[in-house]
Structures are given as C-alpha cells and as structure tokens.
Structure 1
Amino acid sequence: MKKLFHHWWREFRRWIREPRIIWRADNELVQITIEVQHWVPFFAFTVVFLWYIVDPTAVALMSAVMLGGVLLAAFLLSRAIARGVEGQRRLRFAAMQVGDELEEQIFLKNKTLLPVIWAEYLDRSNIPGYTVSSARAADADTQIDWRAHTVCTRRGVFALGPWELRIGEPFGILMVRQLYLQKQDILVYPPLAVLPEQFLPHRGALGDHRPLNQPLRAETIASTTVRSYVPGDPLRHIHWRTSARRGDPFVKVFAPEAASNVWLVPDFDSADHVGEGDDNSQEVMVTVVASLALTLLQQNLSVGIFASAENETVVLPRQGQTHLWTILQALAPLHAAPGRTLEDGLQRARGLVAGNDLLILVTPSLRPDWLAALRRISRSRGSTGRAEVVLLDPASFGADVPPNAAESFLALLAEQGITANILRRDDVHLVSGYYGEVSRWEFSVTGTGRAVARRAPRTANPLAEPASPPRWKTVE
C-alpha cells in the first residue's frame, strides 16, 4: 500500500509539473497556446469551493469569489496578451562567405493597454555562436526592438528559426507561448585557396596534349600555337603561312578538349580526419576541393563531385564558371560521418566515372585498404595513372603518426601507378573575399570625432512577415 501511494504521488507531481494547454490558436506561421504555469491556485479554488458547498458561510463565499476572480482575470489577461502581443525578427544583413557578418533586428510589439512584465525569446537557430534568446519587458501600447549579430566562422547551410516567445501575465498563474514556425536558410560558402602548382592537373603543357587520354581528339576552334608536323596529323591542321615561312610543315595546336570530365572525390569518413577547430583536415579538404573545382572550370573542363558523407552527394560534370556555385552549394553542408569508408565510396563512384574521365581523390587517409578500389577505377578505363590523389599529411594537422608516414604512403601509391602529391596545412593559403569583399561593419573616425560607416554587411530580405491574425479557438 505504501509503494502504491508513493507511485501515485510521483505521478501526481509529474502531472502538475507538466504544462497543460487550456487554450490554443493556430495558423500557418504561428502556434499560440495558453498553458497553466502553477496549479496551486486551481487546487485552492477547488478546496474553497467544496468548503462553501459543505458550509456556505460568508468567509467561504468571499474566498471562492476572490480566487475565482483571480483565475478568471488571469485567463482574460492571457487572452489579451495572446492577441495583442507579438514578436518579429528581420534579417537585415546576410552572410555569404566565411568572415561575413550576419545581423538581425528583433521586435516586441505590445498592442494591449497593460505592460508586458516579462517576455522570453527562445531561439532554435543553429548558426554557431549565434542566438537571439533573451528576456525583455515592454510598456503598454509600445514597440521595442534591438539587434543581434555575429561573424560567420564556419561554412554550411544554417537555419534562422523557428523560435519561441513566452509571455507571462501579472498573476504568474498562466503563460502564453507563441511558436513562430517561419525559418530562413543561410548558405555560407566554403573559402577558396591558392594551391601550389604541382597539385593542379594538366600542368606544364598547353594545347592538344590530350591530358585525359580521350579515344578521339576533339576539334576545337581555339588555336594556341604551332608545332612541327608528325606523321598522322590531319592535313587540314597545317598552318600554311608558318610552313611557307620556315620551309617545313607545321600544324596548329588547339586548346584542350572541352569535353574532358574531372571527378573530384573528397573523403568524408570521420575515422580518417584529424585536427581541431576550423583548421582540421576536413575543412581544409573542402577548401581544396572547392579550389580545384574553380581552377579546373577556368581551364574549360567539366567538373563533377561525388561525396559519400552523411548523405551521398553527386554533382554531374558541367562546364562554365556558373557551375562553380552548384558545386559550392553541394560542398557547403557536407560533414564527415562514421562508417562512410573511402573504399565503399570509391566502389560506388566507379559506376559514374567514364573511361575518358579523370578522378582526383582528396583524402588524409594513410590506410591501404582503399588502394584496390582506386586501382580498379584506373584499370576499368584502360589506362593507369588516370586517377590522381591529393594526400593531406595528417602530421601537419597534429595527428600522432610515424615520421615520414605520408612520404612512405606516397611511395606505395607510386608503386601502384597512381600519381599523388602531399599537401600540408601550411600549403593552403586562403583567398579572402573571392565572392566579393568580406561583408561586415567597418567604421572610421573623422577629425571631429564622428564615426562614419565605411562598409556595411550585405542587405537581405526579411523573414516572412507574421501572418494575419489567426482564427482563435478554445481547446476543449
């Protein structure tokens, strides 16, 4: 019996601690509820009411009327707050790249004739180091606003909202909860870097060197230079003026074939990455992949992405500088995940890579278990050496590896006929403001002591405006 009593007592305490909704109003963008915050006044009213029924004295009647009036006043005030108080947030300046400043303006509008004693903002945004959560108060029939800002230090797709506004009535018995469902995505592109020359494919030659071993040489209209005629060159490629001037046949050298495809494959296995903060191997890898895509697109090549991260991401090869934005949008939200082994990723990528494509793998992994999968991709295209590896040296990111471990693994790749280069953390030099100047507030002080804004962040469209007043309905 004692255990049963304790069980019921625990359930009762848990029940009274949980907020109970007594009124609700919904529309597309906001959900408004009135919840019981403290149950003691309700229990007191019940006891006094039963007292009056059993012994209808004047004291019992006055006590019941007083408590009932307080409860009714608390509910009516909460209804007025629910209808007359609202919050709003407006995105004034948006971030586009790492280093940009994001700024919001937050409003609290009180249209009632009573002051708002306390209003608590609870923000569910996921931008690192940023929140608008705070507590405010407002006088009757007024509007207050303030600003929140942060400097974006990390790439990714982030969300502003949803968010919640909690408002208390003067008696502290009930609470109004307004859940604003509108959400705005913020895309922060990864930074770009200047890479050393040896990490760029097709280096050291111009024209029709056929870097991707195309089965048939594509004819382009862009002639870069001339060279001596060799047996097998088409006669239509002979440059007659140079041949006449030099006395020997010369042929025109054309620009590289525009149909060449390059697949960039980053390694998103969390077991392979090392380092902490924004300089870890994963962030550097994404920067390297984005920078390689930019360089290859500038060479008039078709660039695609295959990434096996939390979700498998495929960007089909396309040409043109505008394709860079598609690649950056795909790279921005990707993060390493456990169990996404590089070997499995290469096996899935094998079906995408055609026989005349080049695959560039970017990884910090020094484990040899993925070499067989990479070698199969090379052999399936009829030629070795058409898969290249950019090997991020784990030691440069603080990993505890044997001395010269990266150099030893480089030699192993060379034995397999795979071209590879070692990239260390200090080899990557970020380019500031490739997408435009870094956007943040900058001020200068004039000779009179006045502060003048020299630069402002990027303006942005506000979040969706609050919807029209909802149709109120009481929860039964």
Structure 2
Amino acid sequence: MAPKPQRRLRLRTRLPLYLLGLLGGLQLIVPDKIWAALLVGMAATLGVAYLWARQMRDRVRISRSSRGQWVVAGDLLEEDWLLQNHSILPVLWAVVRDHSDIPGYAIDRVATAAGEGRYTWRTQGTCTQRGVFTLGPCTASLGDPFGLFEVTHDYPDTRTLLVYPRVMKLPEFDLPQGHTSGRARRSRRATPETLLASHVRGYLPGDSLHLIHWPKSAQQGQLMVKQFDLEPAGPLWLVLDLDAAVQAGQDQESTLEYGVILAASLAAKHLYAGRAVGLIAYGQETCLLPPQSGSAHLWRILPPLAHAAASPEWPLARVLAQVAPDIGRGRTLLVITPA
C-alpha cells in the first residue's frame, strides 16, 4: 500500500498579521473610516486567501504512473502524470518537483487546473546509465491568488527502476567449443537441426535443401551448405573482472562500462546460438550464475550486470582461484578484463 501524502499549509510571512494589529490599534486610538475600511479589506483578503489555500491542501491530488519495472540503457523512460482538482476553485499554479535519482531525468513542471477539473501530462527522459535507480518521491507547491499562504504536498511513494546494460551486435568470431559430459552427449541426438553450424562447404548431390546457407550461396555464386559439429558445444563461462585497481575512465567512458556491455552482448550472442552460458562477476556484489541455455537465461544474467560495481576486494587471480571448483574441466572460460 502506497504511503499517504503529507499536506501542509503555512503563512508565508507574518506581515499581514502585523498590519491587522496595526490597523486595529489605529482604529481604537484614532477612529477613522479609512482605518476601518483597510482593516476590513485586509481581514477579508486574509480570510479568502486562507480558505483558498485550504481547498488547495485538501482537494487537490497528484499521481504518476509508468510502464514496466525495467528499461535498457538508451531506452526512453515515460511517465504519465495527473493533477486532479476536486475543488470548485481553480488551481492557479502547482509547481511539481521530482526527486528521482536517475541521471539526466529532469521533469519538473508547472501545472494548472480549472475548478473541478484535471490536467494530464507526460514526461520523457533517456536512461543513459545502467543500474538500480529510484523513481520518486515528488513534491508539489501550490498557493492562493494573493501569495499569502503556501501549500505543500509531499508524495513519499517511490518505485525501484532497474536499467539493464545495452546489448550490442558483435562481429563473428570463433571460441573453443569445450566439452559436455558423457551423459549429456548420450542424451542429445546428433542431428544437424540440434547442433551448431561450424562452417559451410559447397553443395553436393544428396545434401538436404534446408541446409543451404543462402547468404553465403549468393556471395559465392554457388550453392553452399552448412556443416555441423558432431560434438555439441560445452558451457561457456563469462568472467567479468571487477577489480577496481585495473579499471580506467569515468562514467560511460570507462572500462567497467565497456566490460559490462561486452559481457551482456556475449551472453546474448551465445545464448541465442543455443549454447549454455554462465556468469562470474565478483565486485561489490558477488555473482556466480551457473550455465544454462535458452534466451530466457539472458534475463537472469542482465540483473547482476546492471548491479555490477568495481571493488578492490576481488582481484582477478583471487576470483579464478575461488570459482575453480565450480567451473570444472573441459569448459570454455572467457575473461573480460582491462588488465
């Protein structure tokens, strides 16, 4: 359940009260119609301003909503806002200030609404940095037409937003296949449809037509067919070096950010190719994610990469010694390090 907003009303300055006292004293000491008129006018103005401000405090609501709980770095974050005025008096101004900690997400706004009306708007911002951020809280400042009272609405409700690292398209390159266990080899059927293509060759009579590699055929000017390994590729372990001592650069132009993007991109590339991928990332938080296959596993790899932060506690040599028993033999280990 969202916490209730806090609403406050205060007099901006005590000057009107001092003027009322002064005019009242003058009317008692030196009675005159001028003092009486000024006294009545000042009291009426103060009363109207107070009643207006109370309506702004008690009868105005502001809400926000966004789509989804996560985005990818570089994506557009959108929020829909609503100012609902349940008073017969108009909202002459409402200064809405957002206190989210997302870098570059500045969405402050001045809104108005007619009596018993509503005002909607949409804010947008680009999520330039991966990580875990907070949407909210926000505050709204309102007032009366005379500027005598200030009304403040504090909305403490917050929501966590996870910004995943970007996944880039990588050039083609070969990695060692590694080995699967004997049981895994026996459990898989050695059919071309279930294995990874390793290279192409010229078409020979009897080759299945659905194995033709059409882009290569067009490039070579003759029919080319895919060749498959008889041994399925073993698991691939990605090791991201988060040792603070070897990192360089700042913010988005740092080796840390490049390493995170490369790890995410490699994971996506090999998972979509059907290979099992695991992740080792020891920094301010430790992550040892066993290899699994399937595109759904990418969404298990991306969250720890979004949290990844460098730490001096885990130099690469210590990490490799720590995880060696969990990796096993015959596995492909790909280390991403600026060292």
Q: TM-score, normalised by structure 2?
A: 0.70
Residues 1:170 and 1:336: Cα distance change in structure 2 (over 3 Å): farther
Is the contact made by 1:93 and 1:102 (CA closer than 8 Å) also made in structure 2? no
Matches within 5 A, 1:15-414: 28-36=2-10, 38-41=12-15, 44=18, 57=29, 73-91=48-66, 96-198=71-173, 200-202=175-177, 211-212=178-179, 218-223=185-190, 254-256=230-232, 260-275=234-249, 278-298=252-272, 300-337=274-311, 341-350=315-324, 352-355=326-329, 357-365=331-339
1:192 partner SS: coil
Code of the residue aligned with 2:281 in structure 1: it is A
Distance 2:329 2:141 in 1: 61
Distance 1:105 1:217 in 2: 51
Is the contact made by 1:262 and 1:359 (CA closer than 8 Å) also made in structure 2? yes
Residues 1:341 and 1:105: Cα distance change in structure 2 (over 3 Å): same
**Which segments of 5 or more consecutive residues in structure 1 lack a partner in the other structure?**
1-26, 203-210, 226-252, 366-476
- Could you list the per-position Cα deviations for residues 176-229 of structure 1 after superposition, in whole angstroms to 9, with x for gaps in the alignment? 222223334444432323445556332xxxxxxxx248588742332258xxxx
1:128 CA displacement: 3.0
**Aligned-residue CA RMSD (Å):** 4.0
Code of the residue aligned with 1:123 in structure 2: it is D
Distance 1:341 1:65 in 2: 78
1:87 CA displacement: 1.8
1:326 partner SS: helix
Distance 1:38 1:217 in 2: 75
1:156 CA displacement: 3.5
Is the contact made by 2:179 and 2:232 (CA closer than 8 Å) also made in structure 1? no
Distance 1:94 1:216 in 2: 40
- Could you list the per-position Cα deviations for residues 239-295 of structure 1 after superposition, in whole angstroms to 9, with x for gaps in the alignment? xxxxxxxxxxxxxx85327xx544322122344233456453222211221222234
Q: Could you say which residue in structure 1 is the equivalent of 2:200?
A: none
Is the contact made by 1:97 and 1:188 (CA closer than 8 Å) also made in structure 2? yes
Aligned identity (percent) is 29
Is the contact made by 1:103 and 1:147 (CA closer than 8 Å) also made in structure 2? yes
Distance 1:216 1:115 in 2: 74
Distance 1:255 1:215 in 2: 11
1:142 CA displacement: 2.7
1:121 CA displacement: 0.9
Q: TM-score, normalised by structure 1?
A: 0.52
Residues 1:338 and 1:85: Cα distance change in structure 2 (over 3 Å): farther
Distance 1:143 1:357 in 2: 61
Code of the residue aligned with 1:319 in structure 2: it is S
1:219 partner SS: helix
Code of the residue aligned with 2:186 in structure 1: it is E
Q: Could you say which residue in structure 2 is the equivalent of 1:244?
A: none
Is the contact made by 1:220 and 1:255 (CA closer than 8 Å) also made in structure 2? no
Is the contact made by 1:95 and 1:101 (CA closer than 8 Å) also made in structure 2? no
Distance 1:305 1:59 in 2: 87
1:82 CA displacement: 1.6
Distance 2:147 2:42 in 1: 14
1:134 CA displacement: 2.0
Query: How many corresponding residue pairs?
Result: 300
Residues 1:33 and 1:282: Cα distance change in structure 2 (over 3 Å): same
